[in-house]
Amino acid sequence: MKTNIKNTLLGWAAGAMLLTGCSKFLDEKDPSNFTVDQYYKTAEHARSGVNAIYASMREPTVSGFGGGAWMMTEFATGLAATDLGQAVNSYFVKDLINTPDNGYGRSYWVNYYRGIANANLAIEKIPGINMDETERKKLLGEARFLRAWYYFSLVRMFGNIPLILKPVDLNSPELKPVQATVEEVYAAIDADLKEAEAAGLKWADVSGKVSMGAVKALMAQVYLTMAGHPLQKGAPYYELAAKKAEEVIDSKQFSLFTTYADLHNPAKKNTGENIFMMQFRTQIIASSWQVSILPYNKNISAYSDETGGIYANIDFIKAFDPADLRVKEKQFFYTSYTSESDRNKKVELGGYYLWKHFDETAQLTTANSDLNWSIIRYADVLLTYAEAANEATGPSAKAYAALKQIRDRAQLPELSGLSKEQFREAVWRERWFELCYENTTWFDMVRLRKAFNVGTKQFEPYVGHKFSYGPVVSEKELLFPIPSQEILDNPNLKQNKGY
């Protein structure tokens, strides 16, 4: 069945997930007995309607022998490898021969615009419900944050995109929308986040709902990106990014985990370092990327599928400082594991696989993962602050302290006496190593127009950067192609340059 932005925006997925706890957050009931006109009549409708906005986040993480859309921005860095021959979409991105027919980009486009459509409905309908005013304000804050997050993801991936801020019906001109400029999209993102910031949300929320910490952390990311390419708004936006990240730091509501193991410990969901996450729950909506981070058919897992879908490029691994704890066995990566048939037997895997996303309980016994996917973690906030503060005023004591927390956990020595330029690249390195394989690095490459050369261990221009296995980045790789089906169904859309 064809799915395009038209029927995505017309569709409505009000998953009635009554949110009294994390598990009930994912208890979705069939909304087919309702129409939009019948719904949004009660406070319960408002809550379940906002819950439905979250659901679209999860779809790109679905993985199997065809790969998974979440891998798209990882293969685009040149730092990821795969053994999954039938996942052609991975190779199209990895080898820089991508096309508008790539299903990964289509997954992002369709699902994120579905999330936007549900947010638009909530934002329009909730003000008309007779309900507690404080709760109404919080729900609208969640909806605006989520709409901002979807648009922030889409505008960075696809550039000029349709900007739709109202519900769409058969009479709406937005059935075949035109593209907004990148600046117009960022203005809408900024406006939504300012509304969310004023919504009275809690600083942290262990249920997984949007929190004040998530709002301010996302604002810091948005302003950091606006300071760089393509908008290049410069110093004022570095100052804004530093300010919002500093507010998160000064709140003292979040902290780095003492061990990297806690990054993929289901018991640590939505706490500590995990500011905002995609929510999963075993036996309800289990996370499905576990099969993709397993080596191809090495028989080490309780999962029947072991796809070899994605693992670390060995040249990137060699670029780590040998003393860096993150590159040690079963910190960020794993190179061996026990045999599924005999847990006393060790199997050498022949590569560096992604331990930071590994749910050991699911892999050993249940084949049903309870692990969340982290969207914003405190390490990113610290590094955002360090980078933005340095760009605004140079390497201050507080910027050094933020960077030191990251390096201390990695068991690397404290830095001192750096120039602004040296500090800048020190922060970039920590971003590349700390946030690897978390759908972050490619976005950094594009906003900075810089790539990390794993051979020289230096930063160089992104356009013209040669991946260690051969392909050379061209200007077209600054964006992903708009899915071909969207162009076919909507003549108002123009394809990105080079595709």
- Tell me the pLDDT band of 171, cut-offs 50, 70 and 90: confident
pLDDT given for residue 46 in this prediction: 96
- For residues 434 and 23, which has the higher predicted lDDT (pLDDT)? 434
- Residue 430: pLDDT over 90: yes
pLDDT given for residue 175 in this prediction: 85
155 and 181 Cβ atoms separated by less than 8 Å: no
- Residue 21: pLDDT over 60: no
- Residue 83: pLDDT over 80: yes
The domain spans of the chain are 5-200+481-489, 289-368
- Residue 11: pLDDT over 90: no
427 and 390 Cβ atoms separated by less than 8 Å: yes
What's the mean pLDDT in 229-251?
A: 98
HSE toward the beta carbon, residue 243, CA cutoff 13 A: 7
pLDDT given for residue 23 in this prediction: 43
Percent of the chain clearing pLDDT 90 (strictly above) = 90
Tell me the C-alpha distance between 164 and 175, whole Å: 10
The alpha carbon torsion through 96, 100, 102, 105 (nearest 10 deg) reads 100
pLDDT given for residue 174 in this prediction: 78
- Tell me the pLDDT band of 30, cut-offs 50, 70 and 90: very low
225 and 263 Cβ atoms separated by less than 8 Å: no
379 and 273 Cβ atoms separated by less than 8 Å: yes
For residue 181, is it left (φ>0), alpha (ψ between -120 and 50) or beta?
A: beta
- Residue 63: pLDDT over 70: yes
pLDDT given for residue 39 in this prediction: 87
Tokens representing 196 are 């969310």
- Residue 315: pLDDT over 90: yes
What's the mean pLDDT in 149-177?
A: 93
CA-closest candidate to residue 426, choices 397, 462, 458, 380: 458
CATH code of the domain made up of 5-200+481-489: 1.25.40.390
Those residues whose C-beta lies under 8 Å from the C-beta of residue 361, and which sit 6 or more positions away, are 266, 370
What's the mean pLDDT in 292-297?
A: 97
CA-closest candidate to residue 87, choices 108, 436, 95, 79: 95
Tokens representing 16 are 């009635």
pLDDT given for residue 26 in this prediction: 55
Q: Which residue, chain included where needed, has tokens 């964006």? A: 479
pLDDT tens sequence across 94-128: 999 999 999 999 999 999 999 999 999 999 999 99
Tokens representing 491 are 């003549």
Mean pLDDT over each residue of the chain, to the nearest integer: 94
pLDDT given for residue 353 in this prediction: 98
- Residue 354: pLDDT over 60: yes
- Residue 18: pLDDT over 80: no
Those residues whose C-beta lies under 8 Å from the C-beta of residue 468, and which sit 6 or more positions away, are 78, 313, 315, 316, 454, 455
